[in-house]
Amino acid sequence: MKFIVKLFPEITIKSRPVRKRFIQRLQNNLQIQLKRIADEITVSGFWDKIEVVLPEESISSYEAVCDAMQRTPGVQFFIQVTEFPLGDFQDVFEKTLPLYVERIKGKTFKVRVKRSGKHEFTSVDLERYVGGGLLQHCESAGVDVHNPDVYVDMEVRDERLYIVEKQLQGLGGYPLGSQDAVLSLISGGFDSVVASYMTMRRGSKTHFLFFNLGGKAHEIGVQQVALHLWQRYGSSARVKFVSVPFDEVVGDILQNVHHSHMGVVLKRQMMRAAEQVADFMKIDAIVTGESIAQVSSQTIPNLTVIDQATSKLVIRPLITMDKQEIVDKTKALGCFDIVKMIPEYCGVISDRPTTQAKMAKVLEEEECLDMDVLNKAVVGCKVIAIDQIIENLDVQSEIEAMSKVSENQVIVDVRAPNEQERKPLNMPGCEIILVPFYELDAAVVTWSENKEYLLYCDKGVMSRLHAQNLQEKGFNHVKIFRPLV
């Protein structure tokens, strides 16, 4: 069985050496992926196409092969063809008839012939002969040259005949690795997932950078998303997953920056950290999932201020996309069910955040920050090859959630101080202690082993993630408080 892979149109307008390089890259990418399915598959590159041959003994891999080619950047579409030696017109018709007799039954059709090489006939001559034969011997609804239900496609190349059986759509875009690598800031949310996919589709080897604000459980969830995205759309190139512990950086911001500027300053600290990681990895561009005005930190003035924290190029593929478009795209990518299980981080919530940040004011706020905290976080980053992430990334243990508080239990409010002040937790008769999430590691070692400590936050996200993290460190008397609504 043979497939003819057609190139993304933008590849065909490149200069000869660039086009040749792109075709070779796409050929290599397809070979890497298809050899994993069946070692007998051959992939051959030509000037205007790539041919994939699936031997008879590997026909059972047909569905997997089609699926892989549909998810490979650089493939505009591919056609399944049956190849024959070129005979006379009657021979061509007799080979076409069994392939299309059922397909055009009760439908209109049109024969299309593409021809290359020297022949004593024209493409139109062959189209008329085969079309007339099909009209006479099939129960079709007739020929429609303008808007047929079915196209009967074939190609004649020198002395070979290729009859098209099926056409399947590809991703388009450039072959992965044909463009320079980028570092994508991935949070596990809809935006960063789609942004990462879009740079993959554009041909950039896309590494993942995760700022860990919620412990191991949070990291596991984001790893699962990144792994899924890479396996489906980027597995022809090995990339890294980098995790930077950022809770102390957030703590530094919460304690030293005015609430109106927390969001902008946090993004600037992320850019600084990303630049250091990108320098180490020799990468020149950072990718984010920001879209104009989607949240307060993403206004044009704020984005301008954020960009000035780094000398790297900041790429924002989603900059003019609507949220619903982005969510719909995650569904199309097969990521929606995973992403929706990763709640958005609720640790830094600015009260009346600015939408018109001024550089002078931001720099004034940042003077109070301890940049050693940021540098320490980058030094403490974990780097792992994406294909080495353990497949089973599910959190192994469920954290018990309590809705009632007994005598030997203490509620621990892990929200940021401004949230604790703005909306105090009122639980008469219960012992409540205020421990912002970024101080939990230091505080937990002082807690009595004879009591149970129930972590609380508004949305239940940070409490669950930090309880998981602390239990994994051996503090099994830490649970979650989730009041009945």
Query: CB of 99 within 8 A of CB of 163?
Result: yes
Q: Is 242 helix (H, G, I), strand (E, B) or coil?
A: strand
Q: Which residues pair with 78 in a beta bridge?
A: 5, 168
181 φ, ψ (degrees, to nearest 5): -70, 155
Measure the CA–CA gap between 54 and 78, rounded to whole angstroms: 14
In the DSSP assignment, the letter for residue 387 is G
Long-range contacts of 318-324 (CB under 8 A, 24+ apart): 318/191, 318/194, 318/195, 318/198, 318/289, 318/290, 318/291, 319/290, 319/291, 319/292, 320/291, 320/292, 321/194, 321/291, 322/291, 323/190, 323/291, 323/294
For 427-442, give one letter per residue: b (16+ CB within 10 A) or e.
eeebebeebbbbebbe
**Annotated catalytic, 457?**
yes
217 φ, ψ (degrees, to nearest 5): -60, -40
Q: Is 187 helix (H, G, I), strand (E, B) or coil?
A: coil
In the DSSP assignment, the letter for residue 8 is P
How many angstroms separate the Cα of 416 from the Cα of each of 156, 243, 295? 70, 23, 20
Q: Which residues contact 247 (CB under 8 A, 6 or more apart)?
A: 212, 213, 214, 347, 437, 438
Measure the CA–CA gap between 349 and 353, rounded to whole angstroms: 9
Neighbour count for residue 293 (Cβ, 10 Å): 12
How many angstroms separate the Cα of 236 from the Cα of each of 177, 205, 285, 330, 386? 9, 9, 21, 21, 12
Measure the CA–CA gap between 310 and 190, rounded to whole angstroms: 24
Residues carrying an active site annotation: 457
